[in-house]
Amino acid sequence: MNDRHPEEAEHRELVENTQEFLHALMTEQVPDALLTAAWDEFYRVYDVLVRRFAVARGVRGADVEDCVQQVWSEVSKRLVGFNITSEAGLRSWLFAVVRSRATDMFRRRARRPLALLGDSIQEGFEPPDREPDPSTRYEDAWQEAVLQTMVLKLESEVSELNFEIFRLRSLEGICVSEAAEIVGVTPNQIRYRHHRTMKKLKAIASLYLGREFHGIDLGSDEL
């Protein structure tokens, strides 16, 4: 453990003890007082964050409590298998769980309108055919394959934090302030790190595609 980063060491210990607590419950063992205290502290620290994430995803009113309960139910089942690398990674994982549960809630609410739309289609109100041109599909598939290759290359060449910021901003479309809260840095750090990572990605693109890569959207790198 690196003594120069005591906060990181304390966070890792908290998560590991929390994982042991959950593992004990899953295997029908009685966790000791240390592990129980770790779970209580973990819940106290991250419940506030989970609630903020839920509200940020558009969950409102009584649905917030329902969403938060679903998130903690999933966290209690999956945290044992979570690979601890950094607090930023944990925050990002929690955000992904919140986003998934919030999306499920919105989908359940949308089922009735979708069912009514399905009835209309069954009755003959067919939507127009929007099947893309085959050449467009092939071009899109090629661009996607190239981008995936470049993103894998980028991941191997930048820090874990910088890649996580790139993933949130460029792949997930998360705004600066929300990304800052997820990974635990300032908005200015998000802008600076994302800008540098995008410059790296564009350098990689020039290697794979030469100078003619303007047809592929690499996202914004504005500060």
User: What CATH class is the domain 136-215?
Assistant: mainly alpha
Going by C-alpha positions, the residue among 81, 85, 47, 82 that lies closest to residue 67 is 47
Domain with CATH 1.10.10.10 in the chain: 136-215
Question: Whose CA is closest to 98, among 56, 138, 61?
Answer: 56
Burial of residue 196 (number of CB atoms within 10 Å: 0-12, 13-18, 19+): middle
State mean pLDDT over 42-68: 90
The mean per-residue pLDDT over the stretch 78-82 comes to 92
For CATH 1.10.1740, list the domain ranges present in the chain.
6-103
Please give the average per-residue pLDDT across 47-72, as a whole number: 90
Other beta carbons within 10 Å of 190: 23
DSSP string, 184-221: TS-HHHHHHHHHHHHHHHHHHHHHHHTT--TTS-----
pLDDT number for residue 109: 66
Q: How many CB atoms lie within 10 A of CB 191?
A: 18
Q: Is the pLDDT of residue 72 over 80?
A: yes
37 vs 138, residue with greater confidence: 37
Q: What is the pLDDT of residues 130-174, one digit of tens each?
A: 555 555 655 566 666 777 788 888 888 999 899 889 888 888 888
Mean pLDDT of 23-33: 94
Q: Which residue has the higher pLDDT, 32 or 129?
A: 32
In which band, very low, low, confident or very high, does the pLDDT at 214 lie, cut at 50, 70 and 90? very low
Question: Which pLDDT score is estimated for 125?
Answer: 53
Q: What is the pLDDT of residues 105-126, one digit of tens each?
A: 877 765 555 555 555 555 555 5
Predicted confidence (pLDDT) at residue 53 exceeds the cutoff of 70: yes
With a cut of 50, say whether residue 36 has pLDDT above it.
Answer: yes
pLDDT tens per residue across span 186-212: 999 999 999 999 988 888 887 766 654
Q: What is the pLDDT of residues 6-26, one digit of tens each?
A: 778 888 999 999 999 999 999
Q: What CATH number does domain 6-103 carry, 1.20.120, 1.10.10, 3.30.70, 1.10.1740?
A: 1.10.1740
pLDDT for residue 142: 63
Question: Residue 215 pLDDT > 50, yes or no?
Answer: no
The percentage of the chain sitting over the pLDDT mark of 70, rounded to a whole number, equals 74
